[in-house]
Amino acid sequence: MTRLIFLGPPGAGKGTQAKNLAEFLYIPHISTGDILRQAIQDQTNLGMQAQSFMDKGELVPDKLVEDMVEERLKQPDAQTGWILDGFPRKVTQAKFLGELLINLREGGEKVINLDAPDAVVINRLLGRGRKDDTEEVIRRRLEIYRDETAPLINYYSDRQQLLTVNGNQSQEEVFSDLKNIIAA
């Protein structure tokens, strides 16, 4: 059973590679952004709670995101494996996820760090042409990533769960590297 957690800076290609790999493996690509949007659209209890924070321009609290991830991992399609993209973002969330997987009697997840240099990531994000993707905004997002998410790299490395893939290659080369890691 394949259980993967994708880490990496914005623009490293996590979403694209997670989606492609999920299709290749016939397992769900679970993005916290998608979970949030779906819960709001479906007007679930958790979705309505999240909407109330978002309507006020506030971040959705960790506990609520954790509850949504837990609910999603318990769905039937996730019983054969999954790829998590966008969660965990902090060490506290990683600890929550570890405990959740023990409670669900799941384990053996691999953590893939899709790494790419800042200059490459900045060029990729600027190339998307989104109006909020200015170099200043992108650099700030990278700074937040380094402060909050990068400690996860050490957390998972200390637990011998971390595998790093060079994200500074073509999409096909990255995908090939990912398939080789999973097969190992």
Active-site residues: which are they?
14, 89, 128, 130, 141
Whether 108 has a binding-site annotation, put simply, is no
Q: Which residues contact 35 (CB under 8 A, 6 or more apart)?
A: 68, 69, 72
Q: Where are the alpha helices (DSSP H) in 26-150?
A: 32-41, 45-55, 62-73, 91-103, 118-127, 135-144
Whether 59 has a binding-site annotation, put simply, is yes
CB 108 within 8 A of CB 98: no
Residue 62: φ, ψ to 5°: -50, -45
Closest to 64 measured CA to CA, from 94, 41, 38, 32: 32
Whether 16 has a binding-site annotation, put simply, is yes
Whether 37 has a binding-site annotation, put simply, is yes
Whether 139 has a binding-site annotation, put simply, is no
Return d(Cα 110, Cα 84) in angstroms, integer: 10
Whether 141 has a binding-site annotation, put simply, is yes
Whether 75 has a binding-site annotation, put simply, is no
Whether 134 has a binding-site annotation, put simply, is no
Q: Binding site residues, as ranges?
A: 11-16, 32, 37, 58-60, 86-89, 93, 128, 130, 141, 169
Report the binding-site residues for ATP. 11-16, 128, 169
> Known binding site for AMP: residues?
32, 37, 58-60, 86-89, 93, 130, 141
